[in-house]
Amino acid sequence: MRTFSVICALGLVILGSSWAAGQTARGNPDAGQAVYEKQCLRCHGSKLDGKGPDSQDLIVRPANLQSQASRTKTDWELLVTISNGVLFSPMHGFRGKLTDQQMLDVLSYIRSVVPSETVS
C-alpha cells in the first residue's frame, strides 16, 4: 500500500511537471503565432498546409499540419517532432533554438488553427 502511494505521488509530480500533462493549456497561442511566423511559416505556410514559400525547394515537403495525419497526432507527438526534428528531412529540431515555452506556444497556436482530433 505504501509503495502504491509513493508511486502515485511520483506519478503526479512527473505529470505535473512534464509536457505530457495538459500542455496546450499552458501555451499561449498569440505568442506562438509570432514564433510560427518567424520560424515555421516559410515551410509550413500561412495556412499550415505545408505550402510555405520555401516548400517548393525542398525534397521532403513540409508536413501539411491541416492533414488528417497531423490532426490525429497527440500534442506530445507534435512537440517531440518540433523539439527533435524529423530525421533526414529539412525539419530540424528546435530544441536549443526555441525555449520550451516557445515550443508550447507554437503548439497551442497550431492547435488553435487546426484543432486536435485526439482525446489526448
Q: 24, 62, 104, 105: which one contacts ligand HEC (CB under 6 A)? A: 62
CB 20 within 8 A of CB 76: yes
Q: Report, in angstroms and rounded to the nearest whole number, the Rg of the chain calculated over CA atoms.
A: 16
Q: Which residues 11-40 are close enough to bind ligand HEC by CB under 6 A?
A: 39-40
Q: Which residues 90-119 are close enough to bind ligand HEC by CB under 6 A?
A: 90-91, 94, 106
Q: How far apart are CA 55 and CA 47, in angstroms?
A: 13
* Listed residue (61, 81, 84) closest to 73, CA to CA: 81
Positions in the binding site for ligand HEC (CB under 6 A): 39-40, 42-44, 58, 60, 62-63, 69-70, 73, 78, 81-82, 86, 89-91, 94, 106
